[in-house]
Amino acid sequence: MSVRVDRPQQQPQRVPPWRNVTFLKWAAQLVTLVGVVGLGYILVTQAQENLAARNIDVSFDFLSDPPGIQLAEGISTNPDTVARALFVGIVNMLRVTVAGIVAATILGVLLGVARLSSNWIVSKVATVYIETIRNIPLLVQIIFWGAVVTIGLPDIGFDTGPFGCTEEVDGCTGWLFASNRGVSMAWLFPADGFWQWFSLMLIGIYVSVRVYRWRIRLKEETGAETYSLTWGTLTVVVFAVVGLWIHPIMGFFGPIFGALASLFDGLPRIVVQLVLAAAALGGAAWWIKRFLDSRRTPAGLAKLTDDDIFRIGSTAVAGLVGVFIVFTFTSISSFILDAGRDFFEVAESKFDFLEAGAVFDFNKASLAKPGNFVNYGPTGLTMSKLFFPVFVGVTLYTAAFIAEVVRGGILAISKGQTEAGLALGLTRFQLLRFIILPQAFRIILPPMGNQYLNLAKNTSLGIAVAYPEVVAVGQTLYNQTGATIPVVTLWMLFYVSVSLFISAIVNFFNNRMKLVER
Amino acid sequence: MLKRLSALLVVLALVAAACGDDDAATTTTVAGTQATTTTAAATTTGGGGDGGQAGEGILAQVQDRGVLRCGVSGAATAFSEQQPDGSMTGFDADYCRAVAAAVLGDANAVEFTALTAAERFTAVQTGAVDVLIRNTTWTQSRDTDVGMDFGPTTYYDGQQVMGRTSAGFTGQSTLQDLEGAVVCTNAGTTTEKNITEATAALGVNITLNTFEDFNQVMDQYLAGACDAVTTDGSGLVGRKATQQPEGEEWVIFPPSPISKEPLGPTYLQNDSQWADVVNWVVFATIIFDENGVTSANAADMQANPPTGEIDRLLGGEGNLQGAMGLADEAFFNVVSQVGNYDEIYARNLNPVGLFREGSLNASFVDGGLIYAPPAR
Amino acid sequence: MTTSDITPDTGAAPPEKPPQGPLVWMRENLFSTPFNSVLSVVSIVVVVLFLKSMVGFIFDDTRRWEAVATNMRLYMTQAYAPEQFIRVWISVGVIGGLAGLSLGAWNVGSRIEIRTIIKTIINIAGAVALLAVLAPWGTGRYVWIAGAVAVGGGAWALRQALGDRAKTITVHTLAVAAAVLALVLIGLYTIPIGDYGFAEGQATYEQGTIDLSTSVPWTVISLVLVAAYFVGRWLTDLINGRAVRGALSVLWVLVLPFNVLIILRDPDWNPASEAGGFDFLTGTDVTIALVFVVGGGLVLWLLGDPRLGEAGRLASGVLLIGALSLWLFPMLIRVRLLALLFAAFALGAQTFGGDMRSRLRYAGLWAGLSLVLIYFLAAINTPSSLFIQGKSFLGGLTLTFVLALTSIFLSFPIGILMALGRTSSMPIFRVLSTVYIELVRGIPFITVLIFFDLILVLFLPEGLEFDSVTLAILAGTLFSGAYLAENVRGGLQSIPNGQYEAAKAMGLTTLQTTVFIVLPQALRAVIPAMVGQTIAIFKDTSLVAIIGLFDFLYIANNVIPNQTVFLGVRFENLLFIALIYWIFTFSFSRASLRIEKKLGLGER
C-alpha cells in the first residue's frame, strides 16, 4: 500500500497557496525535478568543458575502428571492429550466464532437497557447503578457482581425451577434449538456413500452445485423459523436423526486410521526427483521456481537484518536452533511421536462402598444430581455461543461494499437506510431483528470478580472471582508446536490458502461476 | 537527553584533543599528508586543496613541507614492494629516498603513495605526488600529451618472452617460433600492444591471454596452460630465478627485446628547477658509481676527494648544489644514506636474479648505457 | 535424491527421545533404506577423500604459510605508521569497551545446559582427531590424536558421571564465552607458535610464543571488554536502563567516525605544528560551530512555537531559499551543506515543535547533530600528523570494514528516502526514485565502481577532487542505497492501511505519520533484510581490489605475491582471507538470526 493522502476537502473559499497541501506537494516535486535536471545540466556542461580540455572524444564513432586487441576466446578472437569485439564479449557473457543458470539450478535444487534429507550425512554435507560458499566473497572464490581449476587436468596434446582423436595427426577430430587449456566439444552451430527455420519454429510454438489449450479444454469438457502435454510437445517436434526441409517457405521475409531497409534508407529525417512527436503528444493525450475517463461518474465529469489539474498539466508538459527533445536533438532521429536500416539489411541477409540448405552445422571438435604447438581447432565449441573460474565460481555461489530458496519453498508447504496426500494413497513421487512442487514452485519463483539476475550480473567479475566478457573487453578497449564514457554507457545499457529481460521472463511465469491459483 | 548528549560530546572532544596533542609533540617533523586527506577535498572549498602551488615551485613546497611525496607501485617485485612491516622497498623506492636525502637531508622523509597504472599520471598532474618513480616507460606521447616531463632513465628494460626448452625454445629463439602458441601476459598499457603489434608485423599467429596481475600469468604458465609468457625482461628474469621448478628449464628470448622500455622518474611539466634536482640526483648516483664512491667510503672521499668532480659533488669546491637550491651536502647525503647506482641496483635487483654485467644497465665503461653528464 | 529424502520439517524442537546407542542412531539416520545406505556410503567416501586432499593441500610441505603469518600487519592495517600503532589498539579497545558496555546494558546471554557444552567439546575433539588422521603429519599426528581422545574421553566420562544432572545444571553463555576467551589468552602466552618477523629484507622466525607486542594489547582489550561488561551492568542498575541503552546506541553511531577520523587519522590540532594545524581561537570552525549550534538551536526553538503558525512556516521557507542561495556565492562547501541541513530542520520545526519540552528536544537534537558534524568536518579538514608509507592510513581489513560500514550507514537515508519516494502518491517523486532504484539494481557493482573511479572526475568542476577511498564509499553508498530502498519498500507495504487512517484521524500530518507511525514499524519489519544487505555489501567491498584500492583482497592477491621474499605465493593468502571473510560473515549472519528470533520477525 502506498502512502496515500486524501485530496483536500472542497472548501468554499480557496486557501492561500502556502497552506494548500496539493500546491505545496507539486511545488516540492517541481523544485526537485528542476534541481535534478539542473544538476544534470551543470554536470554535463562541466563534463563538456573538461572533455574538451583533456581532448577526450565521447562519440561512439570508435565503434567502427579496429580494436587492436585479441580476445582469448569467443565467436571471433580477432575482431575487426570495436563493436564486434564488444559483441564477442556479450556473447561470452551470455554463454557463461546461460551455462551457469542451468548448472546452478540443478545443483541448487539438489542441495536444497539434500539439506532436508532424512539422511544425516547428506543433509550435513549440504549444510556445510551452503554455509561455506555463501559467506565468502564471490570475487575471492573466482580468483581462487582461477588459480586452481586447471591443475590436475592433463597438458594438451594429440592424445588428449576423454573422447579424443582416433588418429593423432594435425586437424584430427573428436567428440570431447578436456585439458588444462579448457574443454572443446562437438556442437550444433546455426547455419545459413537457421533464421528461416527459427521463424518457422516461432509459429510452431504458437500453434503448439493453441493445441495444448484445445486438449485441456477437451479434457475439461469430456473428463477423458487427453494427453495435452504430449500433444503440445509433438506439435513442436513436428514443426522442428519438417522445418528442416521446408524452411525456405519463410524466405519471403527476405524481400520484406529488404523493402523495410530501403524504406528506412530513403525516409527523410523529418518523417521520423514527426512520428516521434506524434507518439509523444498522442501518448500524453491518451493518458489524459484515460485519466478523465476514470474521473467520469454516472452524473458526468466529477469536479477536478487541484491535484488532478496538476497531474494533467504535468503530463501535457511532458508530452511537449518530448516534442521539443525530438526536434532539438536531431541525432536521435538519424540514429533511429540508421539503426533501422542496418538492422533490416542484416535481417534480409539472413532470409536469403531459397533452397533447403542446412539449418545447423554439426561440427566435431578438433585439435590442430598450426605452428609448434597443439591447440584446439576452430571447429568445436571451445570453453577455454578462462571460462571455468567464472563458470565454477558463479555456479557454486548461486547454487548455495538457490538451495536456500528451494528449502524455504518446500518448508513453506505445511506438513498437513504431506500427511493428507499420503493418507489419500499417493506415492512419494506423486506427492512431490502433484502436491509439493507445484505449490513450492510458486513460492520460489520470484526469489529464483532474483538469483538468476544476480548470476548474470556477477559474471562481470570475470574481469578479475581475464575471461573476455563484456566488462573485461570494455576495460581493455578503453585502456587502448581512452573512450571510458561510451564504453561504460554501453555496459549499463547492456546490463539493464539483460536485467529487464530476465525480470520480464520471471514476471511472465509468475503471472501464469497466479492464474493457476484461481 | 540533551544533557547526556552534550556531556558525551564534550568528553569525546577532550579525549580527541588529548590524543592529538600528545602525538603531535612526538612527530612534529612530519607534516600533513596527501595520503590522509581521505575525505578532505569533498568538504573544502573548490580550488582550495592543500597544495598551494600558486607561484611556488615544487622544490620550495617539498622543503616547506619537510617530506617528499613519491608515487610508486607498491606491488612491483624488486622495484617497489610493500614489505610485511608496511615499509616500501625496492629500486624505485630507493630513488625516492635518494631524492629526499638530497632535498631534505633525510632519506626517510618520504611519503610513498601506492598508485595503480591508471591513476599514476593524474597524481602527477594534480600535484598529489611530487615525483613519480613507478616503473613508468618514457614514451613520446606521454612526454608530450599529459603534462609531464621525464627524467633520466634509471633502468633500461625491454619486453621479452619466456618459454620452456621442452617446447623447443632456446635463448636464440625468435618470435616466429611462437607460431600457434598460447602466450600469456599481464594487462598493461604497453605489453599487450607490443606483442600484438610485433607478431602481427611478422604474420605470426598466436593466442594471447591477458591477465590482471602477473602472478596469475605465472600460475597459468606453471600449470602448463600457457606455452609462453611475455612481459618486461626484468620481471621474467626474476620469475625464472625464483619459480622455475625442478626438472624444467625456462629460457628467455629473443636476445634483443621486442620493445624498448626505459624506466625513470616522472614529474610535472614546466618546473625546471625541480626537474634539475631530480635529474641530478640520478646523475650523481651514476657518477659516484663510476668513481667508486660508496655509502661506506663517502666520508673518506669527502675528506680526501680523488677528483675535482667528486669534490664538487660531495659539497666541496664550486657551490654547484647551492645554485640548484639544495644544501652543499645534498649529494653526500644521497650517497651516504642511500648509496650509489651500483649499490641501489645490487641491493634490490640482485636478489631476484637481475645482474648488471652484460646488460644494458652496465656502466658505459663496461658497454652498457648508464652514463651521466659531467658535474662541473 | 529421491522423494523419500524429504522430510518437511517445521523446525520445531523434536520431542525428547529415549537414549539410544550409536548403532541405533546410525541405523535410523544413515541406513534406514537400501537407497539411503548407498547414499551414505558414497557421501562418506566422497567427504573423506575431499577432506584428505584438502588437508593434504593445506599441510603440504611446499605451502608457505609463513607468508600469511609474516604479513599479518599488512593484512590488518596495510601501511599504518609503526610508531603510531598504539592508535590501532586504542580503536579496537574503544570498540571492545563499547561492546562490553552493551553486553551489560542489554543483559545479553542466556543459560545453557552443561550437556550442550560437553557435546560441543566432544564434537571438536572428534573433528581434531579426524583432521589428525587425515593430515600428512607423520608420527606427529599421534600426539594430536591422543590429546583429542583424552579431551573427548574426559568430557564423555564427565557426561556419564553427571548423568541426569547434565540436563539440570546450566551455565550462563557469557561465562562460557569468558572461559573460551581466557583459554585463548593463556594460549597466547604459552603455545609456542613462534614469532614471524621481517628484517633486512628477509622473513625471520623465532621460536617461542607470539611476540608480547601482539599478546599484551589483546589481553588489555579483553580485560577492558570484561570490565566494561560489569560497568554496563552496574550502570543499568544505577540509572534507568533505557537511558544507558539510548546513550550506547548514540555512541555506536559515533564510534565509526570517531575511530577512523580522530583516533586512526590523528588530525593535527596543534596550532604550533608546521603543517598549519588548527587554531582553536581564530579557527573558522569555532565560528561556524557557534553560529550553527547556538544560533541555529535558538532559531529552531523560536520556530517551534505553535503560536507562530503561518509566520513560522513562511520564515522556514525563507530560510530554505536563503540556504539555497548560498550556493551562488563563493563559500566553504561545509557551510553551504550545514545551511541546507539547517533549513531542512527548520521546515520540520512547526511539525515537531509544540510544547516547551518538544521544542527544547528538537533544538537540542539539532545542536547535538550539528556539533558532531562540525567536529568531524573540522577533523577531516585538519591535516593528519601520521606518516603513511602507502596510499592511505586505511588499508587491509581496516579499509574493508570502513568501506562496508560507512557505505551501509550512509545508504540508510538514501534507501529510506527512495523507498518513500517510490511508494509516494506524488508521480514525479515516484518516477525519479523508481528510475534510480531500477537502474542501479540492473547493473553490476563493478561497473558502478569503475564509473565512480574513472568517469565521475570528468563531471566535477576543477579543484573538486575525491580520493579513491571516498569514491569507493560513494559508489558503495549509492549502490546499496538502491537495494536498501527495495527492502524498506517491502516494510512500507506491510503497514496496513488502517494505520494511515488512524493517524489521519488523530490529526497527524503526513510528515508526522511517516516519521512516528510508519517508519518505525516498517524499519523493524525489514531488519533481517537489512542485515542481509549489510553482509552483501561487506562481501562486495572486495571488488575495490579491481580498481586498485589496498583492501584485504588486494593485499592477498597483489601485494604479498609481489614481495621478493614471497614471490608468487597466492593459494595460502587466498585461503586465509577466505577464512577471515567467512568468520565475519558467518558469525554476523548467525547473530542476525538470533536477533530475528528475539524480535519475533521473519516468521512465515
CA atoms of B5 and C293, how far apart (whole Å): 13
Among the listed residues B201, B248, B194, the one whose alpha carbon sits nearest the alpha carbon of residue B221 = B248
Side-chain-side CA neighbours of A161 within 13 Å: the count stands at 2
Q: In angstroms, what CA-CA distances link A295 with A303, A309, B348?
A: 8, 12, 82
| pLDDT of res. B31 | 30
CA atoms of C479 and C482, how far apart (whole Å): 6
Q: Spell out the alpha helix ranges (H) of C135-200.
A: 140-162, 165-168, 173-190
User: Residue A117 pLDDT more than 50?
Assistant: yes
C116: helix, coil or strand? Answer: helix
CA atoms of A363 and C30, how far apart (whole Å): 47
| pLDDT of res. C604 | 37
Share of chain C above pLDDT 90, in %: 25
Nearest C-alpha of chain A: how many angstroms from C28?
Answer: 8
Q: Cβ of B215 and C80 within 8 Å?
A: no
Interface test with C, best of A42, A122, A405 (most C CBs within 10 A): A122
Asked if the bond preceding A268 is cis, omega within 30° of 0, the reply is no
| pLDDT of res. B2 | 42
At residue B266 the predicted structure's pLDDT band, cuts being 50, 70 and 90, is very high
Please tell me which residue, C542 or C62, carries the higher pLDDT value: C542
Q: Give B160's strand partners.
A: B231
Selecting from B189, B196, B225 the residue whose C-beta is nearest the C-beta of A70 gives B196
User: Residue B30 pLDDT more than 50?
Assistant: no
Q: Give B184's strand partners.
A: B209, B229
At residue A353 the predicted structure's pLDDT band, cuts being 50, 70 and 90, is low
Which amino acid, residue B132?
L
Q: Does B308 touch chain A (CB under 8 A)?
A: no
CA atoms of B88 and B134, how far apart (whole Å): 12
Per the CB < 8 A criterion, the answer to whether C545 and C553 are in contact is yes
Residues of C in contact with A54 (CB under 8 A): 458
Taken as a whole, chain C contains a residue count of 604
User: Residue B187 pLDDT more than 70?
Assistant: yes
At residue A17 the predicted structure's pLDDT band, cuts being 50, 70 and 90, is low
> What is the DSSP code (8-state) at residue C261?
I
Per the CB < 8 A criterion, the answer to whether A183 and A400 are in contact is no
- What is the ipTM metric for this complex? 0.87
CB under 8 Å to A450, separation ≥6 — which residues?
none
Asked if the bond preceding B254 is cis, omega within 30° of 0, the reply is yes
Give the other-Cβ count within 10 Å of B176's Cβ.
Answer: 13
Q: Cβ of B180 and A464 within 8 Å?
A: no
Burial state string for A94-104 with b = 16 or more CB within 10 A and e = fewer than 16:
ebbbebbbebb
Among the listed residues C489, C474, C383, the one whose alpha carbon sits nearest the alpha carbon of residue C438 = C489
Terminus-to-terminus CA distance in chain C, angstroms? Answer: 27
CB burial class (10 A; 0-12, 13-18, 19+) of residue C512?
middle
CA atoms of B99 and C599, how far apart (whole Å): 62
What is the signed CA dihedral for B274, B280, B285, B291, rounded to 10 degrees? -160
Q: What cell numbers appear for A203 in the block?
A: 509459429
User: Residue C362 pLDDT more than 80?
Assistant: yes
Q: Give C196's strand partners.
A: C205
Q: What are phi and psi of A482, to 5 degrees?
A: 80, 5
Q: Give A184's strand partners.
A: A177, A382
> What is the DSSP code (8-state) at residue B224?
T
> Average pLDDT, whole number, for chain A?
81
**Which of A233-237, A382-386, A493-497, A510-514 comes out lowest in average pLDDT?**
A510-514
| pLDDT of res. C254 | 92
> What is the DSSP code (8-state) at residue C305?
-
Nearest C-alpha of chain A: how many angstroms from C262?
Answer: 30
Predicted confidence (pLDDT) per residue in C287-329, tens digit: 888 888 888 889 888 888 878 777 887 888 888 888 888 877 7
CB burial class (10 A; 0-12, 13-18, 19+) of residue C532?
middle
CB burial class (10 A; 0-12, 13-18, 19+) of residue C71?
buried
Nearest C-alpha of chain C: how many angstroms from B208?
Answer: 21
Q: Does A146 touch chain B (CB under 8 A)?
A: yes
Q: Which of residues 444-463 of C touch B (CB under 8 A)?
A: 453-454, 457, 461-463
Q: Does A171 touch chain B (CB under 8 A)?
A: no
CA atoms of A465 and A276, how far apart (whole Å): 45
At residue A14 the predicted structure's pLDDT band, cuts being 50, 70 and 90, is low
What residue has cell string 600449470?
B223
Per the CB < 8 A criterion, the answer to whether A71 and A362 are in contact is no
Share of chain C above pLDDT 70, in %: 93
User: Residue A141 pLDDT more than 90?
Assistant: yes
CA atoms of A407 and A116, how far apart (whole Å): 7
Q: Does C564 touch chain B (CB under 8 A)?
A: yes
Predicted confidence (pLDDT) per residue in C544-554, tens digit: 998 888 889 99
Q: Cβ of A485 and C432 within 8 Å?
A: no
CA atoms of A361 and A194, how far apart (whole Å): 10
User: Residue A511 pLDDT more than 80?
Assistant: no
Q: What are phi and psi of A207, to 5 degrees?
A: -60, -40
User: Residue A108 pLDDT more than 90?
Assistant: yes
Q: Does B125 touch chain A (CB under 8 A)?
A: no
Per the CB < 8 A criterion, the answer to whether B136 and B120 are in contact is yes
**Which of A322-331, A429-438, C95-104 comes out lowest in average pLDDT?**
A429-438
Predicted confidence (pLDDT) per residue in B62-116, tens digit: 998 888 999 998 888 888 888 888 888 899 999 999 999 999 999 988 988 888 7
